[in-house]
Every structure is written in structure tokens, then in C-alpha cells.
Amino acid sequence: MTQQKAAAPGRTRTWNVRLDIFEEDEDNTAVQAILRTGDNELVTRTTARRNPHDKPVPEIGDEYAAGRALLELGRRLVEAGATDAEDNAHG
């Protein structure tokens, strides 16, 4: 992420998250998560694999893969914030 000036009071921003879900086959689901802030973009890709003993229910794979993608996106966003805060403190 990039360094920005302090936000004006009452300023509102909209960030968009897009999840693209790919059924790779009956057992594997992949999700690409994209966060667009207007200034930057963060992208993650995660997967979920069905336990061979479970019945195939595509929605479950979607939920696991999407949840993992959102968690990874959140981790990367926090990491970017920490890096930007450190740069700001030393800049």
C-alpha cells in the first residue's frame, strides 16, 4: 500500500472486494479475492479440497475457499498497514 495524507474529518471511502470462485473439479475449489481501494489493489488466491469421505456439496467448498481468501486478504492488509505505519514514523 502507499503512504497517504491524513484524511479530512467526515471523509468517506468505499473499498470493493471481489471474489471469483472456480470449481476446478468435484473435489477442489479455488477463490481469487481482490481488494480495490481506489489507490491500490491486493490479490490473494486460496483453495479448498473436499474430504474424500464427505458428500460433494459445492457450496461448502465455496465457503471454505472464500473464507480462507478473505482471511489471507485481511492478513495482507494488516501487514500493509504495519509497513505503512513504520514508513510514516521514519519518514
Phi/psi for 56 (5° steps) reads -70, 115
| Predicted structure pTM score | 0.81
Chain segment 23-61, per-residue pLDDT in tens: 999 999 999 999 999 999 999 999 999 999 999 999 999
For the chain, give every domain's residue range.
16-90
The mean per-residue pLDDT over the stretch 5-25 comes to: 89
Rg from Cα positions in the chain: 17
Say which CATH topology domain 16-90 has: Double Stranded RNA Binding Domain (3.30.160)
